[in-house]
Structure 1
Amino acid sequence: MTSLINSDTRIKVSSVLNRDTANYGKQNLIDGSEETCWNTEQGLPQNILLDFPEPVSVESIVFQFQGGFVGKNCIAVGSTPNSPNDYSVEIGRFYPQDINPTQTFDFPATEGLKRVKIIFEESTDFYGRITVYKLDILGKVLDTGSFSV
């Protein structure tokens, strides 16, 4: 398993605290710094959308939240190259602990996905805010030459 997120992966998020993308934007999810984070506005649901350059097989999702601002009822869904806006492929549900350390959530391999959407249906914060210091998606990039859609 390797990281599926690279410089060609497009990331979109549902909101950014005070629209301050410089301090709390999506780039902070994958910058490798323990000092920066993605921080949402209040309200639920919140989500992260990843658009991969090639079809992928998703096996694990890695998060580091700020305790007290954790997505506690989450679902990861995917879409195929033929239907990029139809998130009908369920990768799995997961329930992060309200802690600071990195957490890894493993799933049966879901192959042939072009996009992955992580939806935070609930938060440990009363106002529905979520703070993420680290995000990674692990799996494998599929050989597009042998991949049929």
Structure 2
Amino acid sequence: MTQSLVCPETVSRVSSVLNRNSRQFGKKHLFDQNEETCWNSDQGSSQWVSLEFPQRVHIAQLQVQFQGGFSSRHSRLEGSQGEEALRKIADFYPDDTNALQTFSIPPVKVDRLKLTFEDTTDFFGRVVIYHLRVLGEKAE
């Protein structure tokens, strides 16, 4: 059964936060299910979000809701198990829209994920994400 894999024990990191204002634009807003909060990166050529799960998980889908005008034309998903180096799982190509977008992921079991947002639609390289969901199952 597919479920959200991000839990309170999941360790998340982000490349940057707009004006270092974590209270208003921090990473916690990626997963809070609140329509009025978001993670807002600072400017830069490549923004990213990394996740370390408390146990091995089987990823099935990724859901992302950008703010139109602050999305990524090309994104890369990487993952690893244990202390392995990250390896590419998939490239995906989001639309520049406010809609929640769902991307199917090739079957993979990981402990760590990294989403890199390249080629942003914002001239300064900022990314704004209202919702980020990693869906799948806990691995046996």
User: Normalising to structure 1: TM-score of the pair?
Assistant: 0.91
What is the CA distance between 1:82 and its match in structure 2?
A: 3.8
Distance 1:120 1:99 in 2: 15
Q: 2:9 corresponds to which residue? A: 8
If the length of structure 2 is used for normalisation, what is the TM-score? 0.97
Deviations 1:18-61 (A, max 9, x none): 00000000000000100000000111111000000000111111
Percent identity of paired positions between Structure 1 and Structure 2: 42
RMSD value, Cα: 0.8
Q: 1:119 aligns with which of 112, 116, 122?
A: 116
Greater Cα radius of gyration, structure 1 or 2? 1
Structure 1 SS opposite 2:37: coil
Q: Kindly state the Cα deviation for residue 81 of structure 1 after the two structures are TM-superposed.
A: 1.3
Match of 2:136 in 1: 139
Query: How many angstroms apart in 2 are the aligned matches of 1:6 and 1:91?
Result: 22
Q: Which structure 1 residue ranges, 5 or more long, are not aligned?
A: 144-149
Partner of 1:129: 126
Shift in Å at residue 107 of structure 1? 1.5
Take 1:91 and 1:21, find their aligned partners in 2: how far apart are those partners?
29
Aligned length: 139
Look up the equivalent residue of 1:46 and give its one-letter code. Q
* Alignment match of 1:110 (pick from 108, 111, 115): 108
Task: Name the amino acid aligned to 1:114.
Answer: D
Aligned structure 1 segments of 4 or more residues deviating by more than 3 angstroms: none
Pick from 89, 92, 95: which aligns with 1:94? 92
Structure 2 residue runs without a partner (length 5+): none
Superposed CA deviations along residues 57-87 of structure 1, whole A, max 9, x for unmatched, are: 111110000000001110000011142xx10
Return the alpha-carbon distance in structure 1 between the equivalents of residues 127 and 47 of structure 2: 8
| Structure 1 partner of 2:67 | 66
